[in-house]
């Protein structure tokens, strides 16, 4: 009887656990950074940070643009987010598109950003880089896929006082409204992705 109960518990635990994440999966969370609330309001999304999942030595990491760009152990990345909530999405037809060669290209291309400073000004150049820009450019350059549509800063909702305060802090009166940007929100909403896990 005890063995049956134990088996049932183990079965339930296995059913509720996260699926096996794969190289190239994209992970989203709500950051606790100072700019997170402004970004959520401007993009009308609760997700303000993201990265790419990679396996290394049978361990999972998130390649992310923080300060500086680096590989972060998955569990540490999750613990840093609000309420430890996260969503993992995967490219549709990933078996056909994300071949071993393409994944190798993604990692190699992404290496050029390793150690670079986080871009608090959200510029489209490669001198500094922000989280969604990193993921978007890796997929675009290595896999030839654009995940999420590009916008300009002026396309965001800039009316909220919290957003206005952050703009003034970062740009003063010289907001580059025509700057090309890609937001975590646009990538999260992309029809090219499907959700594999959300806790």
- 3-class DSSP state of 37: helix
Cβ(184)–Cβ(193) under 8 Å?
no
pLDDT tens digits for range 84-123: 999 999 999 999 999 999 999 999 999 999 999 999 999 9
Percent of the chain whose pLDDT exceeds 70: 91
Q: Which residues have a Cβ under 8 Å from the Cβ of 110 and sit 6 or more positions away?
A: 52, 63, 134, 138, 142
CA dihedral 141, 49, 199, 80 (to 10 degrees): 120
pLDDT tens digits for range 117-175: 999 999 999 999 999 999 999 999 999 999 999 999 999 999 999 999 999 999 999 99
What sections of the chain are H helices per DSSP?
A: 2-16, 36-43, 74-80, 94-97, 100-111, 131-138, 161-171, 184-188
Characterize the bridge pairing of strands 69-73 and 86-91. Answer: unpaired
pLDDT at 19: 74
**Largest pairwise CA distance in the chain:** 72
pLDDT exceeds cutoff 60 at 1 = no
Cis peptide before 55 (omega within 30 of 0): no
Sorted by where each begins, the domain ranges of the chain are 20-198
pLDDT exceeds cutoff 50 at 65 = yes
d(CA 141, CA 90): 18
Record: fold of 20-198: endopeptidase fold (from Nostoc punctiforme) (3.90.1720)
């Amino acid at each position: 009887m005890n063995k049956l109960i134990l088996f049932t518990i183990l079965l339930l635990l296995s059913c509720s656990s996260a699926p096996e994440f794969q190289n190239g999966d994209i992970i989203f969370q709500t950051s606790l950074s100072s700019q997170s609330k402004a970004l959520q309001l401007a993009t009308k999304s609760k997700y303000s940070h993201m990265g790419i999942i990679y396996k290394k030595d049978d361990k999972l990491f998130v390649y992310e643009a923080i300060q500086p760009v680096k590989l972060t152990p998955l569990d540490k990345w999750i613990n840093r987010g609000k309420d430890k909530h996260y969503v993992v999405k995967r490219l549709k037809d990933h078996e056909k598109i994300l071949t071993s060669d393409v994944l190798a290209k993604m990692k190699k291309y992404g290496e050029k950003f390793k150690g670079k400073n986080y871009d608090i000004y959200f510029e489209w150049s490669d001198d500094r880089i922000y989280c969604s820009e990193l993921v978007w450019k890796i997929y675009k350059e290595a896999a030839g896929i654009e995940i999420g549509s590009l916008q300009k800063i002026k396309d965001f909702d800039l009316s909220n006082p919290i957003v206005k305060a952050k703009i003034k802090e970062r740009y003063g009166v010289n907001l580059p409204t025509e700057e090309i940007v890609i937001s975590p929100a646009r990538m999260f909403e992309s029809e090219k992705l499907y959700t594999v896990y959300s806790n």
